[in-house]
A = this chain, B = another copy of it.
Amino acid sequence: MKFSIDKNAFLSKLTVAQKAMAAKSNMPALTGILISVAKGELVFVASNMDISIKTLTKHPSLKIESEGVCLVPGKLFTDIIRKLGGDTVNIELEDDNVLRIMAGSSDITLNLLDVADYPKPQFDFSEHPIVLKAADLKDIIKETTFASSSVENKPILTGVNIRIYDNKLLAVSTDSFRLSKRNMTLADNYLETNVIIPSRSLNELSRIIEDSIDKVEIYLDKNKVLFKFDDIIFQSRLLEGNYPDTSKLIPTNFPVILKFNKDSLIEAIDRVSTLSSNPNATSIVKLQIEANGTINLISNSPELGTIKDTVSPVEVVTMNEIKISFSSTFFLDALKAFSSPEVFVKFTGEIRPFIFEADNDPGLVELVLPMKSE
């Protein structure tokens, strides 16, 4: 294996692949990145078994003198390439499983990992990919993954449930204290599909999809999902099991419907939530609508004191006296999921879940369960 290529073209594809590499592993080969050059193409593959990424380039600067494949120590190799001077990097596989890298004023020899040990991931393309606008996919990820569970004792809740039927897509996530639900109409009809994609995979995917990307092809398999865009293939395992039915959780009758300026409400909740005796714990905020229509946000700590803020909605659709307590973190997360500058908050009752909706975010519902206030 011997080739040369423009350093920046090389680095940009390498840093994408590197995101799938294992930082540590019982299988040291998984901390490596597979490099292969053949048929005028340079390919990187990395995998931590949950996520696998394949990036390829036919950059005009790529000059292959001899084809081949090798497994580089991923982090060290990426660090080295990132720091290289010069415009062109020259790479050559030497005897004894050693890679020689030459660029600018640098001459580097790097001990390689054994290609034979690498559990090379299979990238399987099913038929009939679902095609989404890249921006829509990133929106769905931003709107849902935060509401999934971060604890592993309910593995199925660490993912986002994606259902496709006819020309509809429904994405749902919940950690059982809050729920995020996004409906979307698709451009085509697709076969019915129901999968759970790990939130961690989706967040990693979102970071890789650059703003210049237009569309993403999604290939679903029994236990894998594959995303294809640009010259990048991103594959994730799926979570196995039946996602809980959340369709009946969302209330439909709301004695209180208020429309708030999103940023003002975020500031007020943030201010009131300052009063937490434990900085790592979520603080409980109480929203109280008085008989005269005043809306107060209150947090109270016997040791520290009391913070009260008065908030004014931009619109009162319907209003009643109510007193409801909730986690400030969940309330803020829900608000921040919206891109609209104004958000409806809809309350059913003091111990009933309440929801958020917004005119400019059609199809998005955020739900939060109240907490018992002391």
A177 to chain B, nearest CB (A): 25
Counting every copy of the chain, the complex holds: 2
Contact B309 A110 (CB under 8 A): no
Our pick among B85, B268, B275, B308 for the contact of A107 (Cβ within 8 Å) is B308
Our pick among B76, B267, B304, B310 for the contact of A304 (Cβ within 8 Å) is B76
Q: Which residues of B have CB within 8 Å of A106?
A: 271, 307-309
What's the Cα separation between A154 and B311 when bound, in Å?
56
Q: Does A117 contact B (CB under 8 A)?
A: no
Q: Does A98 contact B (CB under 8 A)?
A: yes
Q: Does A303 contact B (CB under 8 A)?
A: yes
Given known A105-B309, A310-B105, contact A304–B73 (CB-CB < 8 A):
yes
Q: Does A108 contact B (CB under 8 A)?
A: yes
Q: Which of A310-333 contact B (CB under 8 A)?
A: 310-311
Given known A98-B305, A111-B304, A305-B98, contact A105–B311 (CB-CB < 8 A):
yes
Contact B307 A275 (CB under 8 A): no
Given known A80-B274, A274-B83, contact A109–B267 (CB-CB < 8 A):
no
Contact B83 A271 (CB under 8 A): yes
Q: Which residues of B have CB within 8 Å of A107?
A: 307-310
What's the Cα separation between A303 and B267 when bound, in Å?
53
CB closest residue in chain B, given A311: B105
Q: Which residues of B have CB within 8 Å of A275?
A: 76, 80
Contact B303 A108 (CB under 8 A): no
Q: Does A64 contact B (CB under 8 A)?
A: no
Q: Residues on A close to B: CB < 8 A?
A: 73, 76, 79-80, 83-85, 98-99, 105-111, 267-268, 270-271, 274-275, 303-311
